[in-house]
Each structure stands twice: as C-alpha cells, then as structure tokens.
Amino acid sequence: MSEPNDVRDDVIVSRRGILVGGAASAAVSAIPASAGAAAPQPGPATMTVSFSVNGRKQDLVLDTRTTLLDALREHLHLTGTKKGCDHGQCGACTVIVDGKRINSCLSLAVQHQGDAITTIEGLGMPDDLHPMQQAFIRHDGFQCGYCTPGQICSAVAVLDEIKAGVPSHVSENLTGPMRPTNMELRERMSGNICRCGAYSNIAEAMADVAGVDAAGERA
C-alpha cells in the first residue's frame, strides 16, 4: 500500500511531509465515526490527473484526497496560492479555473481533468505584473500580504463577472448591465477575508483597473 508521499518523486522529503504522511496513515486505521460510514474504509487510492496550470500541461499521480490547493502548493510548488482556513471561508486559496474563480481548497484535484487553471503566478510575475497587481501596489491594497494572491485572483475574476452581467446581492436592477460601483466591488469580494483590513484600498485598486470612480462611473 503506497503512502501519499511516495508518489511525490519530485519533492524533497521534509519534516512536514513526513508528518503529513503519518497523519494520513493514522486516519486510515481509525474506526469510522460517522453514521454514513458503514462501509469498510479503503486504503489510500492514487489516480493520474492532467490539467494545465498557467498555460503549462501538468501530469500528476495523486492521492484521491488531494485538493487542487495541495496539488498546486505541495506537488507543483506554486506556493503563491495560500492555505488559510482550508474550508472555503477565507478565500486565500482562490484560483481561476476555466475563467471562473473558485476556492481551490474545496475542490479535489481529480475533479479538474483537462481544466485550465490560472494562479497568481500565471497572472503576473515581479518583472511582468498584471494590471491588478500593479494597482494593488499603487493603492496599498495589502499589509501582511497573506490573503493578497487570493484577493488579486478574485478581483480579476470579479471584473470579468461584472462585464458578463452576473448580478450580485446589491444589484438594484437584475436585468440591466452590471456596474462596478464601490458597493458592488465590496459585496462581490466578500468571500476574501483580509485580517489586516485593507478592504477599502482593495476596492480602490479594483476601481482603478476597471477605470471607474467610486460611483462606478467612467473616470
């Protein structure tokens, strides 16, 4: 029976890696506690999955339990995408899959066969920043920076959602075109938590990229 870490031939075995493997083997031998778990629990299963990340095709052999977030961080070493709560509540793990932002912590890697995934590294690198990354710097849209990759991936996708006419909770008119007002930007970013409280500057950075003032009018 192979351990999840055995398939990571490209990974230097770290102390943390060994701890993760130990936890996984302990979990396998534990007695199922849930009412829904009447069936005997199988041992770890591995599968192959192929998807593109930032335009580059990736073929991985993964434990089926591996989330897209862990595949990106632990197997492809794209550590720009962050693990915050690991339960879809904080948005630090936000990536863009086939043009749509999702929480990569609440998605299994094997669900993404054939998908095109964009992470913060794919939006822009220090020598070639995405306009949203530049705007976050210009407007001081972060302090500690931990939530920032998720904020930026989310912000880029939010402007696309507004252009595509996706309504939000604060849209007064459901059938008209959607506008990037300050209220709209704040509501649409509510799935990205920033404990440093850079929210107002993040909304200003987004308005800058959208080319509007706080009322959503063309600047």
Partner 1 sequence: MKAFTYERAKTPAEAAAIVARMPGAKFLAGGTNLLDLMKLQIEAPSHLVDVQDLGLDRIEKAPDGGLRIGALVTNTTLAADERVRRDYGVLTRAIVAGASGQLRNKATTAGNLLQRTRCPYFYDTNQACNKRRPGSGCAAIGGYSRQLGVIGVSKSCIATYPGDMAVALRVLDARVETVNAQGATRTIPIAEFHRLWGDTPHIETALAPGELITAVSLPAPIGGRHLYQKVRDRASYAFALVSVAAVIQPDGSGRVAFGGVAPRPWRVEAAEALLPQGARAVVTRAFAGATTSSENAFKVPLAERTLASVIAQAKG
CA distances from 63 to 5, 13, 16, 77, 96 (A): 9, 17, 17, 17, 23
Binding of partner 1 by 194 (CB under 8 A): no
The residue from 9, 15, 33, 59 that contacts partner 1 (CB under 8 A) is: 33
Which residue, 67 or 126, is less far from partner 1 as judged by CB? 67
Neighbours of 14 (CB within 10 A): 11
Pairing of β 116-118 and β 94-97 = antiparallel
According to CB under 8 A, which residues from 77 to 136 bind partner 1? 86-88, 91, 94, 100-103, 106-108, 110-111
Binding of partner 1 by 161 (CB under 8 A): yes
First to last CA, the chain: 61
Which residue, 98 or 140, is less far from partner 1 as judged by CB? 98
Binding of partner 1 by 195 (CB under 8 A): no
Q: Whose CA is closest to 177, among 128, 140, 212, 129?
A: 212
Q: Which residue has the tokens 């693990």?
A: 83
Which residue, 121 or 187, is less far from partner 1 as judged by CB? 187
Stated as kind and residue range, the H or E segment containing 173 is none
State the residues that interact with partner 1 by CB under 8 A: 24, 27-28, 30, 32-45, 47, 63-65, 67, 86-88, 91, 94, 100-103, 106-108, 110-111, 154, 157-158, 161, 164-169, 171, 174-175, 187-192
